[in-house]
Amino acid sequence: MALRTIRIQGDPVLTKKCREITEITPKIRELAEDMLDTSYEANGVRLAGPQGGVLKRIVVIDIPDEKNNLLVLVNPYIKSHTEELAEFEEGCLSLKGLYEKVSRPDGVTVCAQDLDGKPFEIEATGLLAVCLQHELDHLDGTVFIDHLSRLKKDRAKTKLRKLRKNDKQA
Ligand code: NI
């Protein structure tokens, strides 16, 4: 087991577009395992490549619902989404301590490959739909506060700076 350092807001790696994974090598499998271990260790349930410092299109999610438990998504993309929006309070291991309400499509259909390179599709609503969209955003250099209005985003950034300052003092 190898833990990776979770990149935090301000790290340029979080603003870059990730590359497609062209071949699922043992190294990619190892990366997926590391990402899961890192996510569990941080009491998170999800992580995207750039958060582990790797600019590759891979996401791990562990949110139990009726159909899916542990999800490893290689080269995921949103095939379709509902017109209806839903608002959820989101947080992120890269913006630790910050929680903001974000509005996103209520349901999504996501296509991806598994660790054997086999394509699969997930239809999700609710929390899983939020997580999928949040994590897929990371692959294109977007974090959840990027969805907020300018004013709210500025406020969120100020909050984050205060949180970090307190962390350092603690
Ligand atoms: Ni995140």
Tens-digit pLDDT profile for residues 30-44: 999 999 999 888 888
Using the mean position of ligand 1's atoms as its centre, give its distance from the Cα of residue 144 in Å. Answer: 7
pLDDT interval class at 65 (50, 70, 90): low
**Which is higher by pLDDT, 110 or 44?**
110
Using the mean position of ligand 1's atoms as its centre, give its distance from the Cα of residue 137 in Å. Answer: 8
Q: In which element (H, E) is residue 36 found?
A: helix 26-41
pTM of the entire predicted model: 0.94
Extract the tokens encoding 25: 């090598």
For residue range 72-96, list pLDDT tens digits in order: 999 999 999 999 999 999 999 999 9
What is each CA distance from 4 to 39, 47, 53, in whole angstroms?
9, 11, 8
87 included as an active-site residue: no
For residue range 122-132, list pLDDT tens digits in order: 999 999 999 99
Using the mean position of ligand 1's atoms as its centre, give its distance from the Cα of residue 117 in Å. Answer: 24
Q: In which element (H, E) is residue 156 found?
A: helix 150-169
